[in-house]
Chain A
């Protein structure tokens, strides 16, 4: 594969000066390898991100030095493991701007966090004829849990429509929030289109009507500074592995008063205060929602990951990625037959596209032959694909370690695919 020259490349933006990409790349061991004889170009960050050495080392150190079960242990290792685990919770609290550490519940990921809220918060307050409101651009994990509880309770799942560009129609949203609406769940950033939804404004409209809001932040956490108190949301969920942390760990933020009033999600060890065969009482927050031995190493790795992005600086990351996204959009627009899917003015890190006459799966295979990792398919958003009249798209998704050279390789790979199919 030949890399097309970029004669009219604009000068580096100030954001590049603030984010030292070469230094960042040096922190990620997995980036430095050859795939099919080509240097890896990793553009599948919306699916999962690579891990910085600091995260890998934190997990390794925990297992080599501090490994023990948390809580109630009287020995030194248990004290260390507990301190590391609860310290991780405080780190996440600061990362999200939450008021108190017990508002941070560790889960397996965004999916489990949403299921927890659907089951423990929404199901008990949902009656026949009530409504849960989501949007047309949700990931399956922010559709199906609501569908299940709505089905159970005879409630109705309603959907905020989107424009062809992939923006929520806010007038429709305001109309859809009604007296029967018991919950609103919305993606902060669309995984398939990259649209940044105006969640602050949506939360304000919901609060005026007394409707609680959950924000699915899986695609937002790696890319922008978050402050749940400023957003005013009731719940915020994200996954560790999409923010440079390990798989199998995620976070649910919930406002304390709501979490206090909710019944447990799962029963087991750690989530109880006293157990007898006649009656069991629940532990305090956050333990009430963390039944069983938690993913201690995962929480430690995740805390290290959010500290890593905080050190690099989320403002610098957002600026760097914005610059890359604009560059990528311009490069793809130059190629005849390429159509960018999702053209909202407010976008983050995702560029979905199609090529006339080439199925996204074939695009994925041809790019992979050049060492370029993208994703092709419905991106776990089948209703969105149906709305856009597409079976699938190819999706390149960016992270802080991507470069303009990565985008040039992508553009060259796309030209190669068009050549193969000519």
Chain B
């Protein structure tokens, strides 16, 4: 049990709670024309103008130090912002990865030059990032990656291929996990992280259409891509440890419990009407909320650990597995409610369209950021079983 410390209820400080009214007013203004089906995309929704508007408000990189253009606030401030963005269904996809993990990673491991170059641009919503981890032959078995960077006089030469890279086609930079020494059989040894400028010659990005018809993830090819020496982030050979720390940011956030919230609220709005109300729906609404509530408290408890400078990797995995399971159940349970009605023609078309989208995208909830099976293995390791 040594690696699983558990979850202590934590309070969001009053100064961070105070952000809510302003954020709500901003979102009410900016999202008024968007359908629920569009809002359901949320952190898959791409809208660079919206990202720049958030940047202008000081709401991107809010946890980064002021000297780099950030807000100098705690992870709780980001929690409040992100919770409001996700529940409202704001199109936050363009800056999402930069704000969530690339910025904090560059702050933690970057050189002073790297910080001064990248962080202000992230905070303004001018520089978008993607994460290069998976490869055609390396999904859950991430340590088997083959993309390789070799040193030369000008820096690094990159060759290989990444896949399932979210937003690569819209991003300026990729933080890629690559092999810088040894062979794939060396596993975790010899891996490093590089910041890859995606505008360099030799980089080819091909979007992949997903089953909803959207194009948000990509295949990325590197053919003798010449990068400068400043592309290396952190220490050479420390890529695995850096990626592991980064995943605590990636796995514990509100996006692992709120992916179906726009649908939930849209359905709630209907079951409040005379046509939509039913005892079964009321009970189901309560059931969903009774699962969401402790998950929110656990997610805030993990945020408190991050705020204390810790890296609660196992707890984050636990919240993600539990949260994504619920996110997937929400469309399934709502579909059962709606399709069991005596008169299905009463169900609003926009609610059905939102349900159809969330149903189709929901398999990704437990794939992106580490599969359910990998997370349960991590929890088992945290329990001392491995």
A and B: bona fide binding partners:
no
Chain B interface residues toward A at CB < 8 A: none
Chain A interface residues toward B at CB < 8 A: none
